[in-house]
Amino acid sequence: MISIWGALAGGVIGTVVLTSGLRIGQAEGWTRMDLPLLLGTIFTDDRGRASVIGYAVHFANGLVFSLGYYAIFEAVGHAGWVFGAILGVVHAAFGGGVLVTSLLPAVHPRMGTPWSDAEETPLLEPPGFLLVNYGRRTAIWTVVVHVAYGAIVGGFAAHLG
Amino acid sequence: MLPTSLAVDGSGFRRTRGSRIRADAVLLDPPRRRGVRDRRRRAESPVVQRTADGYAPIRDYALVGDGRTATLVATDGSVDWLCLPDIDSPSVFARILDSGRGGSFQLEPAVPYESSRRYLPGTNVLETTFETAAGSVRLTDAMTLTDDDHLSPLRELCRKIEGLDGAVPLRWRFEPRFDYGRGRTRITRRGAHWVAEHRGEALALGVWDAGQPTHDGDDALAGEFRLEQGGSAMLSLASAHQQPLVLPGRDDAERRLERAIRFWHAWSERCQYDGSWREAVVRSALVLKLLVFAPSGAIVAAPTASLPEEIGGGRNWDYRFTWLRDASWALDALIRLGFDDEAHAFFWWLMHASRLTQPRLQILYRVDGNDRAKEVDLPELLGYRGSAPVRIGNGAARQVQLDVYGSVLESIWLYAEHVGHLDGETGREVAKIADYVCEHWRDRDSGIWEVRSQPAHFTQSKALCWVALDRARALAERGLIPDRSERWRAEADEIRAFVEAECWSDEKRSYVRAPDLHEIDASLLTLAILSYDYPVSERLQATIEAVRRELQQGPFVYRYRGEDGVQGDDGAFLTCSFWLVDALARLGKLDEARSLMDQLVATANDVGLYSEEIDPESREFLGNFPQGLTHLALINAAISIAAASSERETAR
């Protein structure tokens, strides 16, 4: 039995793990990827307020994505740690390869794009192909934390039913 | 290659009258009023200074750009350096590094001519006027900006030619060489455009009223045309990177060209400086803006790689990176000139880019924030006038240079003082950087000059560590960062004791380069500028005099005379010359500062640009061009003189 509440609970805990993982990556110098800051600066250029807003948005995203995972589990008729982890790889590829790399710079009012010119003074550098501008190991670390997120959502959805 | 009909003198350069003189002549005696005989006489005189093997003096270049990349245009209308899509991408035109295989986009009269040029006032749009016996034409070069209302190319260079007088035969040659001349170029026709491709890169050449393009070999196009008074022609170069090309029409290109002129004019109008040498200060600000990589806010040291510090020598470095050292000078200049948006963006870039290594700071970063800067040689390119090797990347990235901490803390202090606050996270990081300085100021380093000899205890590095801790204390006193002032004060006192005991020479009557290097070092001028001693102490005054005594030649100042682990000599360092002006102004020696400033401002090329170094004898520019640090030092020197003058007036 696949549980939507399990998926949501997994979404909360998975987002905590994912966010903590990225923070550890920052502290260890592996990446400058700071999702709450990237999301929060859509709304304000005050770093402190941006981080608070960003965390809220980030947790909301974590829950929304867990519902997406749940939809896939239902469609396939299977959920579990391993399947969740595989979806986590897809999630990382989509998030890192499309959402953050291409779509976020296009809509973010304070982020540069390859088209930013002398008329603009963006405050945040664009992430670049495979997020490499935020550190060479960013892509790898992004996959690792998303695999953890996916595994937790998959496991909770399968076992809390 | 284009056929040459120009005399070559014994020095290898074609002789010419200075561009400034020609420009004056045009101003006083507009071409269309002159007789044919006058024009014919002028056109018979030799024109542009290129060596027999095709290299123009560095002084002969002007820079146009769009905030993402920039291109060097020579006095003879040849585009000899352009990297696409970004300023640190591989080159498409690199004739300046190899006149044979580097690639270029040439456009000039097909008959003997004289040229003069200027930037359109307050802009980064270049205007070159060619005068021939048959008449005169005006070439306008600009890189356009993204047009939000219309689909724009990723990058675009517009070259508009207008007939002023008579009927002038012209010719152009488009010879792209992708990937520093290593890539294979294929040129095909696509409707009204010609497209050059190499892997994911593409260039579309639009030609309007500029002759019928014909293949000149497999990988070049050429054309000839005649332009009469009142006529105009346009060549546009649009680029794409891993995406479909946007093929502009002539009207689109012309509209974007006009828009670029309006933008630059409006931007330079924001400059709040109103003192002496305003034209030079505004030009320097415009150069600085071209060195800002808009997508991230980073500022490159220069838009070029491997222009030599010694002709024929090996001191050839890639400057298309952002040095954190330049941060304090850049922020100081931007804030003092009133360019708050650029200062804000650069500060964000600074704090974000350095996050990977904080509290340790890498000395330079790529403009996109990436920390890779691996230095490699390009044996395929001969180098400017045979100055090999051509290097890309910069091995100095992995050096320890402790002065960087002083520069960064000074820039944070300047920024915080200007905006009045720092967010908590930044404040915590800044305090950690100050703690790192406490732990590491006793280390040897490679110093501000990035010597490749053995690391040493460079005096300037130690003094800048003192500056770092002093600014950290000042920030803590204002409650902007966590307060660990006691520790910072104690360590700062130790640094000062070390400098005073170990880095002063009674024999030289000066601070010296390092305790075991009893040489004068022009970087010690920064101690006066960054208020290591305020008011300036007797020792620091003596050091400034020692720099003048031992390192100054005419208005120019060498960095040092000793070893640095690299073979060969280099020229006088223009930044140091402006630092001397700044230091003299802070000492209150205003007449001397003004006199020196006048001489240095007169040393710029015909369009107000400076390279990194200069040969004091021949006045030949050396090193990468134009050099941001030189222009920053010019701005800050002018402002320091203005401030000191104002203080003196107030005191009266």
pLDDT in tens, B214-265: 998 878 999 999 999 999 999 999 999 988 888 889 999 999 999 999 999 9
The predicted structure's pLDDT at residue B568: 65
Using alpha carbons, select from B237, B46, B225 the residue that is nearest to residue B143. B237
We find that the CATH architecture of domain B19-267 is: Distorted Sandwich (2.70)
Examine the pLDDT at A9 and tell me if it is beyond 90: yes
Range of A18's domain? 4-114+126-159
Q: What type of residue is B10?
A: G
The predicted structure's pLDDT at residue B119: 98
* Total domain count, chain A: 1
Give dist(CA B50, CA B156) in Å, integer: 27
The predicted structure's pLDDT at residue A161: 62
B26 alpha carbon, distance to own chain's centre: 28
Phi, psi of B13 (to 5 degrees): -105, 145
**Span A122-129, mean pLDDT?**
85
- pTM, entire model: 0.88
Cβ neighbours of A115 (radius 10 Å) = 20
CATH 2.70.98 in chain B: give the residue spans.
Answer: 19-267
The predicted structure's pLDDT at residue B151: 86
Task: Give CA torsion, residues B28, B34, B38, B40, to 10 deg.
Answer: 120
The predicted structure's pLDDT at residue A29: 80
User: Considering the domain boundaries, does residue A151 fall inside one?
Assistant: yes
Residues 235-254 of B with CB under 8 A from A: 241
User: Considering the domain boundaries, does residue A121 fall inside one?
Assistant: no
The predicted structure's pLDDT at residue B48: 62
The predicted structure's pLDDT at residue A102: 83
The predicted structure's pLDDT at residue B327: 79
The predicted structure's pLDDT at residue B437: 98
User: Considering the domain boundaries, does residue A79 fall inside one?
Assistant: yes
CATH 1.50.10.10 in chain B: give the residue spans.
Answer: 270-646
What's the token pair of residue B205?
């050449």
Contacts of B294 in chain A (CB under 8 A): 112, 116-122
- Interface contact A56, partner B, CB < 8 A: no
Pick B295's closest partner by Cβ from A26, A46, A113: A113
Cβ neighbours of A24 (radius 10 Å) = 13
Nearest CA in chain B to A31: B356
What's the token pair of residue B19?
């561009």
Cβ neighbours of A50 (radius 10 Å) = 23
Using alpha carbons, select from B288, B479, B328 the residue that is nearest to residue B412. B328
- Interface contact A133, partner B, CB < 8 A: yes
User: Considering the domain boundaries, does residue A49 fall inside one?
Assistant: yes
Examine the pLDDT at A147 and tell me if it is beyond 90: yes
- Interface contact B399, partner A, CB < 8 A: no
User: Considering the domain boundaries, does residue A119 fall inside one?
Assistant: no
Distance from CA of B357 to the nearest CA of A (A): 6
Specify whether the CB–CB gap between B96 and B302 falls below 8 A.
Answer: no
The predicted structure's pLDDT at residue B368: 85
Q: What share of chain A is helix, strand, coil (3-state, %, to 5)?
A: 70, 0, 25
Which stretches of chain B score pLDDT less than 70? 1-48, 564-568
Examine the pLDDT at A153 and tell me if it is beyond 50: yes
Cβ neighbours of A31 (radius 10 Å) = 25
Q: Which CATH number fits domain B270-646: 3.40.140.10, 1.50.10.10, 1.10.10.10, 1.20.1090.10?
A: 1.50.10.10
User: Considering the domain boundaries, does residue A9 fall inside one?
Assistant: yes
Q: What type of residue is B527?
A: L
User: Considering the domain boundaries, does residue A74 fall inside one?
Assistant: yes
Using alpha carbons, select from B296, B385, B309 the residue that is nearest to residue B564. B309
Question: In A28-80, which ranges are continuous DSSP H helix?
Answer: 35-40, 47-76
The predicted structure's pLDDT at residue B567: 66
Residue pLDDT, tens place only, A64-79: 999 999 999 999 999 9
Which residues face A108 on adjacent strands?
Answer: none
Give the number of beta-carbon pairs within 8 Å between A and B. Answer: 103
Q: Burial code of B297-333, b = ≥16 C-beta within 10 A, e = fewer?
A: bbbbbbbbbbbbbbbebbbbbbbbbbbbbbbbbbbbb
